[in-house]
Structure 1
């Protein structure tokens, strides 16, 4: 999974972010424990959560 930056997350719509978060979660669970892939997926999920938290509810 490619690591998503804060800037990339900001350019996506809310539904796109939820889709990317799902992809990151699947990548996280599929990656070997403690691997760089797993860390990248976790950071991507955190980046997406941070971006979603800055948006107004319902948008």
Structure 2
């Protein structure tokens, strides 16, 4: 998985972010401990979650 930066996450729709979050979670689970792939997946997951948290809740 390639790194999803906060800037890139900001350009995506909420549904796209949820899909990317699932991909990052799966990549994190599949990567060996201490690997570069795991670090990238974890950083992507954090960036995506931060972007989702900064958006208003649906229905408001």
Shorter-chain TM-score bucket reads over 0.9
Aligned match of 2:57: 57
How many residue pairs end up in the alignment?
59
Q: Distance in 1 between matches of 2:50 and 2:10?
A: 10
Aligned match of 2:31: 31
Q: Which runs of 4+ in 1 moved over 6 A?
A: none
Please provide the CA RMSD for this pair.
1.0
Cα distance per residue 1:1-59 (max 9 Å; x no partner): 10011110000000000000000000001111110100100000000010001100016
Q: Distance in 2 between matches of 1:30 and 1:46?
A: 17
Aligned match of 1:9: 9
Q: Distance in 2 between matches of 1:37 and 1:29?
A: 10
